[in-house]
A and B are shown apart, each in its own frame.
Chain A
Amino acid sequence: MDRGAIEKRLSDQKDLLTNLISKAKSNGIEQVEIYSSYGYSEDVSLEKNDLNNCTATEENMFGIRVIHEGNQGFLISNHIPSLYTSIEEAYQLAKSQSTPDPDLVLPETRPITNQFDTYDSSLDTIGIEDLVSFAKEALGWRSDLYDKINIDSGDFSLNKGYKLIVSSKGVMAHELGAELSASVMGMGVDGDLVGSFDYDSASGFTKDQFKTLWKKAFHNFGDKCMGALYAKPTTGFQGKVLLPPDAVYSFFLGLFIGSLNGTSLRKGKSKMAGKIGEKVASSLLSIWDDPTNKGFMGSTGFDREGMPTSFKKVLTEGVLESYFYNTYEAKKAKLPISNGCATGGAQSLPGCGPKQLQIAPGNANKDEFFKLPGKTLFVNRISGTKDGASGDFSGVVKGGYLLEGGEKIPVREVQIVGNAFDALNQIEAIAKEGELIGESSFVPYMLLDGFTITGVMEN
């Protein structure tokens, strides 16, 4: 499957979906939206330090949304011949409801100014043979450099495809994309000693970009697994935690960003309701959302509803500047249009959220964080739970270190408990240094104070 074939398929499908929507309108179904997601992928998987499986898959999913007099029906299907029947079924689902809301409508079309095409045709020369050679190289790195690490699973993928949205309101937008990606999961094993799991991944628009990022990711994975192999239990304490970019992004900030979701706000589930313009976090923290940044993975010119995306400030020196809205939630919040923050794809109804979060780097030097007096817990990853409404989180620290007196001691069986909204004000320093998470979101290292750390050993 090459670019030419995908473009032909896309062109044919635009015609097909446009005709289906016209037919629906002529049969009295006024508001129809079809979101199409087509993907062709080749994959090579690893298991137990060996190649496991080679696969080739192709699928086109369609998310069909019909709104009838303020009620909505949604249907997902991968069967092209019965798409019109699916529109009728979605219509019936909408008609079977009795709780209409006049704010529930499909958005009117708006011009999309940022055009994205992240399909580099050089990937048309890549195939399973190349994925197998990437796998061979990675297995070589393991045996040459990290022979105490067991690769539990890994995956090398070449993905190509498009997304397309067409609606009865005139929305028509598409983007082509292709990428190489890889991931690896495993742990250190030395005799009877087994370390914690760790994981890393990389992706790229071209072969060269992918190879550079993947090599770095694999070595990062290896170092993390080795670091966790000889971990020991420790005592609990009250004090500082040092979060690397992954931990900042995946655990600490997730709850806060979730609370800015238009749906959570409307339903009274967000502690950030009514706080626009207020200081809700440390002055050290500034965040923005920029899906228009070409060159980052995941950047896009339109959202799940075909509305244009844009740069927006979220938090400036601790002051809250915006929430995330799709069309429905914008109307419920008395706004005329959404701010291009509808999330999801063919298999889900439009949600609300950011696309490409960026966190401003601070002034601190991250190396200084490792030399602090007293005890600091370096939290590589948290395996735990979090509650979106209260902001409470708790979990077991994985691949963590106790930083004490200039020493870096790997620890296990340590738990951390806190509250994400309180933690926004517990930020003591933000580093200049950070990482591009998922090749899309810049996130720096952060130092926070005032946490309860529970260890398995008696104090």
Chain B
Amino acid sequence: MRDLLKECLSEESGFVELRYHHKESRSFFAERGRVESTALRKRTGVGVRVLESGTWGFASTSEVTKASIQNAIQIAKKAARLSSALRKDKIPNLPKANFAVGDFIGRGIEDFRSRSVEEKLKMVLDIQNEATKQSAKLQSVGCGYSEIYEEKAIVTTDGADSFFSLVRPEFRVSAVAKEDGKLESGSHSIGVTGGWDCLFRNQSPSQISEEACKTAVDLLSSELPLGGLSTVILSPSIVGLLVHEAIGHTVEADFVLSGSVAQGKIGHRVGSDLVTLCDSGSSEFYEGAGGTIPVDDEGVIPTNTVIIKNGILSSYLHNRETAERFGVAPTGSARAWEYGDVPLIRMRNTFLLPGDSSLEEMIANTKDGYYLDGAKNGQADATGEFMFAVQKAYRIQNGKITNLLKGVTVSGLAFDVLQNVDMVSKEFKWDLGSGHCGKGQPAKVDAGGPYVRTKVLLGGK
């Protein structure tokens, strides 16, 4: 594929970027004693981006032939020329980057190919059937397995020339429990970049199912917590949501240029000394983080970007265009979801570095607060105000975990929450489950970290 793309570029001058993308998604879902759905999704094409007259032009084609790709190049060039007159802030040359050259074959692909459809169907069906026996209160248990296999080739006129492949399996269980007309839900999911063994390395499918079902049943007897500003210990899944939503989005350089709260704050204190925050294309601490990429969608090798170092904001996340504007090197953060999407600045694996405390010490040192666990969803705002939703909130009183409460929405101002971090655990975990991030288009990301103690606004009664 790299050869075909290079042939298409052989007569081009100026900047042209070709991105071939083939994506196959398989999904299997069982509920109420039967396989509810099996689906295979295949999408292939080439995205063409040109920089001409100081403006971007983009076109795509699902026909992977030289003639079709070259036609798309001409359409993209025409689009760029048409818009150039309007664009005020012309894009200068793109900076040199640490381009990936060669083939990068991901781990776990053979494993994914060698397991049969029947094996995967049996797994979701068996787990679903086992789960419903756990409690008579369970109304419904759904069990899903999915995997995305991707291959991409990225070739540009200024030196990128790579092919890579990867596979991302995911497993999820969702349960609904009922008692006295009350319905409650519980869910648990995992997702990795790698093979089946990597997916179930820490928890078996049965354990994942048990956790989801237990949450649904336990929540039947829970109540809302008291609303207000509270001391909280966040589990790694919640820390992952916090650093992704509250901080990560505000430091995406396109968003910074639009006026996010992080604008002009490089070198300023934005968190306590205990806070060191990174975003990486690799899987630090252990393999398999869901947002791992060997090459970004501009053909750049991703770095481990230290965003906050000991509380001081030290870097934004960049694509090639914003790197040029800020006079720094690209961080390898440009990502596109499908071949027909333009690469945007996106996070990859976002994490807080572990500290010195243990979870036990943190709980014992908390007189009045909450332990929050089970990430649901989250969003961030330009103001740095974020919200994320948790499944479960446990009350902490006098250094001990007491009763389970319904998890609700947690919110705060990003940098205030980081300034209030006063304990960080030694333990570390990637734990965003099967989460995807939305920003005009989806992206597979991961996030995590240690257990962290801080203050947030808890929604409640």
Contacts and interface: CB of A to CB of B under 8 A. Distances in A.
A196 B381 CA distance: 6
Contacts of B117: 92-93, 96
Nearest to A75: B40
B381 A99 contact: no
Contact of B139 (A59, A139, A269): A269
Contacts of A99: 30, 33-35, 125
Contacts, number: 243
A132 B411 contact: no
B409 A72 contact: no
B80 interface: yes
A76 B387 contact: no
B185 A388 contact: yes
Contacts of A425: none
A90 B37 CA distance: 11
B87 A390 contact: no
A74 B37 contact: yes
Contact of B457 (A50, A52, A390, A415): A415
Interface residues of A, number: 83
A447 to B, nearest CB: 21
Contacts of B152: none
A377 to B, nearest CB: 13
B440 A197 contact: no
Interface in B131-145: 139-140
Interface stretch (B254-262, B269-277, B279-287, B326-334): B254-262
Interface string A72-107: 111111110000001001101110111101000000
Nearest to B181: A271
Interface residues of B, number: 82
A47 interface: yes
B387 A395 contact: yes
Given A75-B42, A77-B43, A132 B83 contact: yes
Contacts of B140: 267-269
Contacts of B45: 59, 78
A426 B20 CA distance: 53
Contacts of B60: 55, 57-59
Interface string A55-76: 1111111000000000111111
Interface stretch (B8-16, B51-59, B158-166, B363-371): B51-59
B56 A383 contact: no
B399 interface: no
A211 B305 CA distance: 44
Contacts of B382: 152, 187, 189, 194-197
A55 B79 contact: yes
Nearest to B57: A54
B124 to A, nearest CB: 11
Interface in B141-191: 176, 178, 181-185
A415 B411 contact: yes
Interface in B385-421: 385, 387, 389, 406, 408-409, 411-413
B139 A268 contact: yes
A217 B158 CA distance: 42
Contact of A132 (B86, B89, B228): B86
Interface string A368-386: 0000000000000001110
A94 B40 CA distance: 11
Nearest to B384: A194
Given A51-B83, A128-B82, A389-B176, A456 B457 contact: yes
A412 B383 contact: yes
Nearest to B250: A194
B44 A389 contact: no
A417 B80 contact: no
A417 B406 CA distance: 12
A74 B38 contact: yes
A195 B382 CA distance: 7
Given A56-B79, A132-B86, A269-B140, A76 B42 contact: yes
Nearest to A42: B79
A194 B249 CA distance: 15
A41 to B, nearest CB: 10
B304 interface: no
B381 A383 contact: yes
Contacts of A12: none
Contact of B44 (A55, A56, A79, A412): A79
A60 B89 CA distance: 35
B293 to A, nearest CB: 22
Given A99-B34, A196-B385, A55 B409 contact: no
B389 A394 contact: yes
20 contacts: A51-B88, A53-B342, A54-B79, A55-B60, A75-B41, A76-B41, A76-B43, A86-B42, A96-B121, A129-B82, A187-B259, A194-B382, A267-B32, A385-B376, A389-B185, A390-B183, A391-B183, A392-B406, A396-B387, A417-B461
Given A86-B42, A136-B86, A392-B408, 20 more contacts: A52-B87, A53-B342, A54-B58, A54-B83, A57-B60, A73-B39, A78-B42, A97-B38, A98-B35, A151-B258, A189-B259, A194-B384, A267-B31, A389-B184, A390-B185, A394-B409, A395-B409, A413-B411, A413-B413, A415-B409
Interface of A: 42, 44-45, 47-48, 50-61, 71-79, 86, 89-90, 92-94, 96-99, 101, 128-129, 132, 135-136, 139, 150-153, 186-187, 189, 194-197, 236, 266-269, 271, 347, 349, 383-385, 387-392, 394-396, 398, 412-413, 415-417, 452, 454, 456
Interface of B: 30-35, 37-45, 55-62, 75-76, 79-80, 82-83, 85-89, 117-118, 121, 125, 139-140, 176, 178, 181-185, 224, 227-229, 254-255, 257-261, 340, 342, 376-377, 379, 381-385, 387, 389, 406, 408-409, 411-413, 440, 457-461
